[in-house]
């Protein structure tokens, strides 16, 4: 039961922000004058002490298919006009953006600064980085209009005739950023993060839902550091991965060290041996079991991959940590040393989700399409018992309150504040029977169903009844709600008294 008392209306954001202090799980709680009390709280967990989560709940049987769930939940679709490039519907875009927001909120903890870089670069950049020689088959080539596009061309326009390539990864662009300024050893490590879209020319037969696509987004990050900082930076990245995967309760998964390929690699064998030895040291220090995948490293350096299984048991690579001595050499990157000389930085590539599309596919199957409240695209719906005008109006009032939107009757609209929480709350005040509306809401996977009828108007203070539905995951850890700035945590049974002002 959720009791909402008159006088009306205080925005639900106050409730959401107050509840972010919660540290409880499956406990009854009450809120009065925006202060929350819990019968028991969880001990705080420092990100640096978190370990990779070794367990997960059993996948749903029969195995969930994110492609079918994506259609039934109106998350994404595809088109013959852009094969391998998913089109996210509003529900899917909401989940996607919640994942991005969650990761962005962690960047300050780990010292990352977000950047924005181009999608297209000249062929000469890819030749310099080594991608054109070692990765061209997986890239899209694009030709500029330049001299071919017009009759009256300047020298600059003619220069645009050079071939271009859509970027399959962000590392060359981040090298350009590092090289754009004079650097000192005091500046290092420098950590860039980037969410811009990437394109890889996958063969059509390999395309599959969100797990194998041609256009995707990667939470790409690059760390430029000194040799003495390598172990600490890789260890912190593994902790970052552990914290995030523990939050989503994803696992079990494997840590795999991928070593130098037999061909199509840049650099010397000695440089590769040195990089592999440092990754081995970081893996040993992590305290986790790991294995070796000989010859499967990137062409520029060895890497640590996180391997997750989907609900059908198929393995997918998600997170990755890669050590690279080659690109800093190719881009002639340097920093000033304490001895008034210069030295070459080391480049660490890292992704926590990996492909956001692939990670989202695994989450869809992990939760069987029923997401926890903080990322759910359908967290709440309000159903009216009747289509009476006064009931419909009260339902709209409750919708405005729960969603965190203000009432703008008789007042000028003001910009929404960045620190306020907005929860998407749907409403159905049609004349259909309540039974049909409830059944439809359950089938669509709403986390909460609010039922409003004429009797609610006659009670003082006015109340609404909330039906809470259990999700595929047995527990909604409060840290999910806190990290997602989502609002009210969902428990199986709870009562809340919310005092609202007019």
Catalytic residue among 11, 174, 214, 220: 220
Residue 303: active-site member: yes
Which residue, 75, 55, 53, 54, is CA-closest to 64? 75
Residues 6 or more apart whose Cβ sits within 8 Å of residue 76: 70, 86, 87, 88, 89, 92, 210
Q: DSSP E strands: which ranges in 259-314?
A: 290-293, 303-309
Name the 3-class secondary structure at 69: helix
Catalytic residue among 222, 249, 309, 366: 222
d(CA 458, CA 118): 59
Residue 171: active-site member: yes
Residue 151: active-site member: no
Strand pairing report for 197-199 and 215-225: antiparallel
Residue 349: active-site member: yes
Tokens of 233: 């930076």
Catalytic residue among 67, 123, 131, 171: 171
d(CA 297, CA 262): 10
Tokens of 240: 């970052």
Using alpha carbons, list the distances in angstroms from residue 130 to 135, 439, 478: 8, 57, 46
Residue 322: active-site member: no
Catalytic residue among 200, 239, 358, 448: 200
Residue 278: active-site member: no
Using alpha carbons, list the distances in angstroms from residue 8 to 105, 293, 419: 33, 62, 22
CB 421 within 8 A of CB 374: no
Residue 260: active-site member: no
Catalytic residue among 349, 350, 370, 485: 349
For residues 82-117, one letter each, b for 16 or more C-beta atoms within 10 angstroms of the residue's C-beta and e for the rest, the string is: eebbbebbebbebbbebbeebbeebbeebebeebeb
Q: Which residues form the catalytic set?
A: 171, 200, 218, 220, 222, 303, 349
């Amino acid at each position: 039961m959720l009791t909402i008392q008159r006088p009306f209306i205080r925005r639900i954001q106050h409730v959401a922000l107050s509840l972010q202090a919660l540290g409880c799980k499956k406990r009854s709680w009450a809120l009065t004058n925006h202060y929350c009390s819990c019968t028991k709280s969880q001990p705080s967990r420092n990100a640096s002490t978190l370990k990779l989560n070794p367990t997960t709940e059993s996948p749903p049987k029969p195995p969930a298919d994110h492609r079918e769930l994506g259609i039934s939940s109106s998350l994404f679709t595809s088109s013959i006009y852009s094969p391998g490039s998913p089109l996210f519907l509003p529900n899917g875009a909401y989940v996607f953006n919640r994942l991005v927001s969650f990761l962005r909120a962690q960047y300050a903890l780990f010292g990352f600064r977000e950047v924005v870089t181009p999608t297209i670069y000249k062929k000469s950049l890819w030749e310099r980085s080594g991608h054109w020689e070692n990765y061209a088959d997986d890239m899209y080539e694009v030709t500029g209009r330049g001299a071919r596009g017009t009759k009256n061309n300047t020298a600059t326009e003619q220069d645009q005739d050079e071939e271009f390539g859509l970027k399959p990864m962000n590392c060359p662009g981040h090298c350009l950023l590092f090289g754009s300024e004079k650097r000192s050893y005091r500046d290092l490590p420098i950590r860039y993060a980037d969410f811009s879209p990437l394109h890889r020319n996958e063969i059509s037969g390999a395309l599959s839902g969100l797990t194998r696509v041609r256009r995707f987004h990667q939470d790409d990050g690059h760390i430029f550091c000194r040799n003495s900082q390598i172990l600490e930076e890789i260890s912190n990245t593994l902790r970052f991965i552990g914290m995030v995967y523990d939050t989503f309760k994803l696992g079990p998964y494997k840590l795999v060290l991928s070593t130098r390929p037999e061909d199509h690699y840049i650099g010397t064998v000695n440089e590769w041996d040195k990089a592999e030895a440092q990754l081995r040291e970081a893996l040993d220090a992590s305290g986790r079991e790991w294995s070796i995948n000989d010859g499967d490293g990137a062409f520029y350096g060895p890497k640590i991959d996180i391997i997750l299984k989907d609900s059908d048991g198929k393995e997918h690579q998600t997170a990755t940590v890669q050590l690279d001595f080659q690109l800093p050499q190719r881009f002639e990157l340097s920093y000033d040393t304490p001895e008034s000389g210069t030295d070459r930085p080391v480049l660490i590539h890292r992704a926590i989700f990996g492909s956001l599309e692939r990670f989202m596919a695994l989450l869809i199957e992990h939760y069987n399409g029923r997401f926890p409240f903080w990322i759910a695209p359908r967290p709440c719906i309000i159903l009216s018992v009747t289509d009476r005008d006064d009931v419909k109006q009260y339902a709209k009032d409750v919708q405005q309150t729960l969603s965190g939107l203000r009432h703008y009757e008789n007042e000028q609209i003001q910009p929404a504040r960045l620190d306020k929480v907005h929860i998407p709350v749907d409403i159905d005040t049609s004349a259909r029977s309540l039974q049909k509306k409830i059944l439809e809401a359950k089938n669509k996977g709403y986390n909460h169903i609010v039922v409003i009828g004429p009797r609610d108007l006659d009670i003082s203070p006015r109340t609404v009844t909330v039906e809470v539905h259990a999700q595929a995951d047995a527990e909604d850890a409060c840290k999910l709600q806190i990290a997602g700035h989502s609002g009210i945590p969902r428990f199986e049974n709870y009562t809340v008294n919310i005092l609202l002002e007019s």
